[in-house]
């Protein structure tokens, strides 16, 4: 067979190979190593004792706290991102290119720069306290740093673009003639949204939701910097096992346990999305 014809016919496979190799090398192999380290020890061979050590109320509280933070972060990101994506795609018109540029701008800036910039906003003499004091809303500066509020706020800010872009992309592919047809058939705005707009943009919503949920669940930098090391989440405890206590076996077991937890939770969320789509039909 001609080489050019082969490449043309198998182009999708050739394009997917680099991504597949990337996932195998940087995700599959490390996770395999971590899995083996969690069940095997040179001194005692294969064992489950490292997992047994994790069945404590403290570990479960940390997992539930991380799940709650990740879930609510994904929900709030969706609540804010969906109307913004709708406005940019459908209402912005001549300002559309500028707004799309602003949507992609956060990806140009280093993650740590994003996080550190909030120190100047939330600190004792930061922008928020200065504004509230100047407006005489408060008499003394608020202690915003080293709190769950600071962690949640910055995580929302950091991960909002990851929710915005997938929803915006799906809105760009949306056939707006369906909205006009719905109006012509006598449907209200509420019915049109729940029967047409939301179900047809659900694929972009799911991509954004699961992206934010997964990244938020294992977040390490934001809780460590904005929480002052006072609050333990999944990411901070994993780093504690690997970096501080050097307990690689238990750290590996905790990593695998949380991988299973987040996959199961995502599957549950997927079923909820599926139910929403069925109800909308």
Ordered structural domains, the chain, with CATH: 62-231+276-280 (1.10.3720.10)
Give the global pTM.
0.88
State in Å, rounded, how far the first CA of the chain is from the last one. Answer: 47
Instruction: Tell me the C-alpha distance between 121 and 226, whole Å.
Output: 12
- Coil, strand or helix at 46: strand
Phi, psi of 71 (to 5 degrees): -65, -50
Q: Tell me what pLDDT residue 256 has.
A: 95
- The structure tokens listed for 78 are 């969706």
Instruction: Tell me the C-alpha distance between 250 and 241, whole Å.
Output: 7
Q: Where are the alpha helices (DSSP H) in 105-176?
A: 111-117, 119-122, 127-134, 148-172
What averages of pLDDT result for each successive group of 10 residues across the chain (281 residues)? Answer: 65 78 90 93 87 92 96 97 91 82 84 89 89 88 89 94 93 86 85 87 94 94 88 92 91 95 96 85 65
Q: Tell me what pLDDT residue 89 has.
A: 86
Kindly state the greatest CA–CA separation across the chain. Answer: 80
212-261, pLDDT tens digit by residue? 999 999 999 999 999 887 889 999 999 999 999 889 999 999 999 999 99
Instruction: Tell me the C-alpha distance between 209 and 242, whole Å.
Output: 29
Q: Tell me what pLDDT residue 8 has.
A: 67
Q: Where are the alpha helices (DSSP H) in 40-56?
A: 49-52
- Coil, strand or helix at 40: strand
Q: Residue 59 belongs to what H/E stretch?
A: helix 57-86
Q: Tell me what pLDDT residue 18 has.
A: 84
Nearest to 119 by CA among 33, 263, 227, 3: 227
Q: Residue 13 belongs to what H/E stretch?
A: helix 11-23
Which residue's structure tokens are 């550190």? Answer: 116
Phi, psi of 138 (to 5 degrees): -125, 155
Q: How far is CA 134 from the centre of its chain?
A: 36
Return the bridge partners of 46, or none: 40
Contact 258, 218 (CB under 8 A): yes
Q: Tell me what pLDDT residue 6 has.
A: 63
Q: Tell me what pLDDT residue 70 has.
A: 97
């Amino acid at each position: 067979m001609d080489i050019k014809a082969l490449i043309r016919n198998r182009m999708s496979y050739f394009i997917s190979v680099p991504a597949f190799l990337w996932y195998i090398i940087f995700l599959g192999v490390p996770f395999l190593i971590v899995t083996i380290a969690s069940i095997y020890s040179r001194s005692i061979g294969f064992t489950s004792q490292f997992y047994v050590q994790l069945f404590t109320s403290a570990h479960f509280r940390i997992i539930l706290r991380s799940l709650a933070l990740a879930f609510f972060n994904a929900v709030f990101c969706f609540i804010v991102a969906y109307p913004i994506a709708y406005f940019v795609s459908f209402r912005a018109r001549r300002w559309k290119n500028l707004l799309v540029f602003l949507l992609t701008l956060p990806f140009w800036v280093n993650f740590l720069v994003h996080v550190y910039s909030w120190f100047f906003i939330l600190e004792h003499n930061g922008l928020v306290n200065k504004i509230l004091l100047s407006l005489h809303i408060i008499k003394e500066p608020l202690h915003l740093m080293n709190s769950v509020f600071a962690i949640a706020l910055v995580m929302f800010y950091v991960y909002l673009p990851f929710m915005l872009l997938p929803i915006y992309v799906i809105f760009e592919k949306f056939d707006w003639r369906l909205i006009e047809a719905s109006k012509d058939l006598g449907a209200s705005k509420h019915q049109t949204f729940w029967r047409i707009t939301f179900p047809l943009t659900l694929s972009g919503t799911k991509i954004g939701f699961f992206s934010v949920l997964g990244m938020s669940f294992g977040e390490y930098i934001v809780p460590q910097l904005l929480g002052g090391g006072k609050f333990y989440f999944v990411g901070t405890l994993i780093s504690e096992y690997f970096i501080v206590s050097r307990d690689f076996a238990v750290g590996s077991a905790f990593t695998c346990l949380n991988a299973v937890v987040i996959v199961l939770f995502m599957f549950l969320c997927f079923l909820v999305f599926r139910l929403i789509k069925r109800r909308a039909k």
